[in-house]
Each structure stands twice: as structure tokens, then as C-alpha cells.
Amino acid sequence: MSRETDDTDSAAVVTADVSTGPQTSNASTPTAETSSADTPSWRSAMTPVNIVVLLFAVATAATGQVLLKHGMSLAADSAVKTGSSLAARAATSPWVLLGLAVFAVSALAWLITLSRLPLNIAYPFNALGYLVILIASVLILNERANLWTWVGTLSVVVGLIVIVANRPT
């Protein structure tokens, strides 16, 4: 559209420009047509770095839980033996404090994950935490797990595999 220098025509041209809008697309303003094309697929979002951060978040969350359990068991035993407050024992337990610190690192890694991946992609990976915690509770905390606990946990992990393997492209 050409602009003329006549004042009467300029108003008409400006009105035409405003009513029709710009003719070129603005990359910073997604439209219904460009937003789906510009949004990366879930497969392209699953870069090696994003997978490592996601798995780190899950692993540190599970580690934090094991440390918290160990620390709380020691704090409970100590509180019973000395007749002191469980809250006071837990607040001063190095294992509980370490567990909270590891869990905080996990939360930061999870926030990074959420900034990079869709929630419906990232969240199912938390199912791996069930498996890690079950294995750690048996091997490290000497807890017992029955067959149904293992079957249920493995079913959750198989569910994760099914979800991730069958994401639409």
C-alpha cells in the first residue's frame, strides 16, 4: 500500500493500516497458525541435557526421602530413649538436615525441568522414584518389601514406559 503526502489521504491510509493490520507476521507474537508449528514436539524437548536434569531431579528426590527416613528413625529412637521432643531431635539431626538439603536441590532441578519440558512429559518420570526408593529402602534401610509391593512398583514403571513410548509426535 502506498502512502500519499496529501493530509486528507493520509488519514484514510492510516485508518486502512489500522483496520487491516500489518501484512508481515511478527515472530514474537504467536498466532493460532504459528503457535503449534513453533512449539517443539515432546521428542525435540527431550534433549540429553533435559533428560539428565529430569533424572537428576528424580534421583535426588528419592535420595532426599531415604535420608529423611533414616534421620527421622534415628531422631525417633533418640527422643524415646531420652524423653525429649521428636521435633527438637529431628531439627538437630544431621541426617534430616542433609535430607532436606538434598530435597531442596531436587526441587531446583525439578523447577529447571518444568521450565524446559511439558508437565505431562516430565511428571510420569517421578514413577522412577518409586522404584529407587523401594530398592534403597530394602538395601540401605533394611526394610522388607513383599511380592505385591514389587509387582505394584514394577507396574508403575511399566506404565511410565508405556506413556513415554506412546506420546504423539
* Residue that has been written with the C-alpha cell 531442596 in this structure: 104
List of long-range contacts for 48-51, beta carbons under 8 Å, 24+ apart: 50/113, 50/116, 50/117
Q: Is residue 14 part of a domain?
A: no
Asked whether 90 and 75 are in contact (CB, 8 A), the reply is yes
Q: Is residue 64 part of a domain?
A: yes
Letter for the amino acid at 169?
Answer: T
Q: Is residue 85 part of a domain?
A: yes
Number of domains in the chain: 1
* Cell numbers that stand for 163 in this block: 506413556
Q: Is residue 5 part of a domain?
A: no
Q: Is residue 2 part of a domain?
A: no
Of 52-61, 70-79, 123-132, 137-146, where does mean pLDDT reach its minimum?
123-132
Q: Quote the domain boundaries for residue 111.
A: 44-165
Q: Is residue 63 part of a domain?
A: yes
Q: Is residue 20 part of a domain?
A: no
pLDDT digits (tens, 9 = 90+) for 42-89: 666 789 999 999 999 999 999 999 999 999 999 999 999 999 999 999
pLDDT digits (tens, 9 = 90+) for 1-12: 444 444 444 444
